[in-house]
C-alpha cells in the first residue's frame, strides 16, 4: 500500500474548537446570551388588570412599519402594539378609524405594550387574548435561551472532560513507553472477537500487516492480523493514540484533535478519514 500525505482543510469551527480557551470563552458567551434571552422575556409576562396603566386619548394615526405597530395620539403620545398580538381585523379596524376617535388603552408598565384597546362602543384588542399571544410567542424565545445556555454548559463540560482525557492518555502512553524499554515487541492482548458487533473506523494493509482500527461498544481497538494489540475504553471518544510495536515496526491508529481517524506505519501516515460520529 502506498504511503499517503494528508491535506486537511479545517473549518473555522474546527480551528476554534482546537483551543480549549476559545471553547470556554464561547461557552461563557452562550450562557450569558441564554440568560439574557430568558430574563428579557420576564417583562412580557401577563399582568392583572389592576396592574395595567390606563390611558385615553384622541387617535391621530395607526402606523404600521415593518414589525412595529404604533398608535399615535393628538396630544403627542405614542404606544406600541406587540406585533404578534395584532390580528388582521384589528389592523384593518384601526386604519379605518377616523382621526379624533376616542380610544381607551391599558398598558403593561413592564414593557409599555398596549394590551387592550377600546372605543366608546366596542373592544378592539382583548386584554386576555393579547397577553396570551405575547406570552405564547415569547415562550419560543425562552426555549431558545434554554437551548443556548445548555449548549454553553455542555461546551464547558466537554472542555473539562477533554482535558482529563488528555492527561489520562499522556499517562497511558508514558506507562507503555516504560514497558517497551524491557521488551522488543508489544505482547498481544487477545484475538479479535468478530462475533461481537463493532464498527470498523479505518483499515489498511501494508506489507504483511492487515491493520484495523475499530470500536466495539465503548472500546477502541488496534487490530493487526486479527489480534488486538492495544485498546482504549471510553463512552465518549476524545483524541487518542493506540500503538503497538510488532516485528520492530511501530503501528499506530487513533483519533486526532481534528476528528480524523488515522493509521500510521513506522511514523508514516498510510490512511486517514474524517470522522462524522
Question: In whole angstroms, what is the distance from residue 70 CA to residue 73 CA?
Answer: 10
Residues 121 and 190 in one domain: no
Query: Does the structure show a pLDDT above 90 at 141?
Result: no
Indicate whether 163 belongs to any domain: no
Lookup: cell for 136: 405564547
CATH number (domain holding residue 98)? 2.40.50
- Residue 6 lies inside a defined structural domain of this protein: no
Is 205 within a domain? yes
Asked if residue 215 is part of any domain, the answer here is yes
One domain, residues 270 and 190: yes
The mean predicted confidence, pLDDT, of the chain is 88
**Together in a domain, 190 and 115:** no
Last residue of some domain: 93, 125, 157?
125
In a domain, 42, yes or no: no
pLDDT greater than 60 at residue 163: yes
**Range in 119-123, 133-137, 213-217 with the lowest mean pLDDT:** 133-137
Segment 181-202 shows an average pLDDT of 88
Better-scored residue on pLDDT, 69 or 6: 69
Domain end among 125, 147, 165: 125
Q: Is residue 9 part of a domain?
A: no
Residue 222 has pLDDT above 60, yes or no: yes
pLDDT at 233: 92
Higher pLDDT, residue 138 or 62: 62
Selected residue with higher pLDDT from 10 and 165:
165
pLDDT-derived band at 11 (thresholds 50, 70, 90) equals: low
Q: What does the pLDDT average to over 156-181?
A: 84
Q: Are residues 119 and 191 in the same domain?
A: no
> What's the pLDDT score for residue 218?
92
Number of domains comprising the chain: 2
- Tell me what the mean pLDDT of segment 204-210 comes to: 95
Q: pLDDT tens, 100-128?
A: 999 999 999 998 999 999 999 999 999 99
Q: What percent of the chain has pLDDT over 90?
A: 57
Query: Would 244 be classed as within a structural domain?
Result: yes
Q: Where residue 18 falls among pLDDT bands split at 50, 70, 90?
A: low
- How confident is the model over 227-242, as pLDDT tens digits? 999 999 988 898 999 9
Q: Which domain holds residue 213?
A: 186-274
Model pLDDT, residue 182: 65
CA gap 80, 64 in Å, rounded: 10
Q: Is residue 195 part of a domain?
A: yes
> 100, 125, 150: which is the final residue of a domain?
125
pLDDT of residue 277 exceeding 70, the answer is no
Taking residues 26-30, what's their average pLDDT?
92
pLDDT of residue 66: 86
- Max CA-CA distance within the chain? 99
Is the pLDDT assigned to residue 7 strictly greater than 80?
A: no
Write down the pTM of the prediction: 0.59
pLDDT at residue 5, rounded to an integer:
53
The answer to whether 30 and 151 have CB atoms below 8 angstroms apart is yes
Amino acid at each position: 500500500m502506498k504511503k499517503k500525505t494528508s491535506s486537511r482543510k479545517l473549518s473555522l469551527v474546527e480551528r476554534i474548537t482546537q483551543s480549549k480557551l476559545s471553547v470556554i470563552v464561547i461557552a461563557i458567551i452562550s450562557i450569558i446570551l441564554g440568560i439574557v434571552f430568558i430574563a428579557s422575556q420576564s417583562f412580557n409576562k401577563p399582568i392583572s388588570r389592576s396592574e395595567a396603566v390606563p390611558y385615553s386619548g384622541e387617535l391621530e394615526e395607526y402606523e404600521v412599519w415593518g414589525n412595529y405597530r404604533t398608535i399615535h395620539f393628538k396630544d403627542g403620545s405614542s404606544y406600541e402594539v406587540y406585533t404578534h398580538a395584532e390580528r388582521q381585523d384589528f389592523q384593518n379596524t384601526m386604519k379605518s378609524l377616523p382621526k379624533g376617535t376616542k380610544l381607551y388603552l391599558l398598558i403593561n408598565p413592564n414593557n409599555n405594550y398596549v394590551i387592550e384597546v377600546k372605543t366608546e362602543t366596542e373592544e378592539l384588542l382583548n386584554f386576555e387574548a393579547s397577553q396570551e399571544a405575547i406570552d405564547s410567542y415569547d415562550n419560543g424565545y425562552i426555549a431558545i435561551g434554554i437551548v443556548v445556555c445548555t449548549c454553553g454548559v455542555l461546551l464547558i463540560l466537554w472542555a473539562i472532560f477533554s482535558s482529563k482525557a488528555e492527561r489520562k492518555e499522556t499517562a497511558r502512553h508514558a506507562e507503555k513507553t516504560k514497558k517497551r524499554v524491557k521488551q522488543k515487541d508489544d505482547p498481544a492482548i487477545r484475538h479479535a472477537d468478530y462475533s461481537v458487533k463493532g464498527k470498523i473506523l479505518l483499515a489498511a494493509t501494508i506489507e504483511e500487516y492487515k491493520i484495523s482500527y475499530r470500536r466495539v461498544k465503548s472500546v477502541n481497538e488496534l487490530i493487526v492480523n486479527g489480534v488486538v494489540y492495544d485498546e482504549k475504553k471510553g463512552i465518549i471518544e476524545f483524541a487518542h493514540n493506540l500503538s503497538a510495536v510488532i516485528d520492530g515496526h511501530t503501528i499506530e491508529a487513533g483519533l486526532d484533535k481534528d476528528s480524523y481517524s488515522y493509521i500510521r506505519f513506522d511514523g508514516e501516515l498510510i490512511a486517514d478519514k474524517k470522522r462524522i460520529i
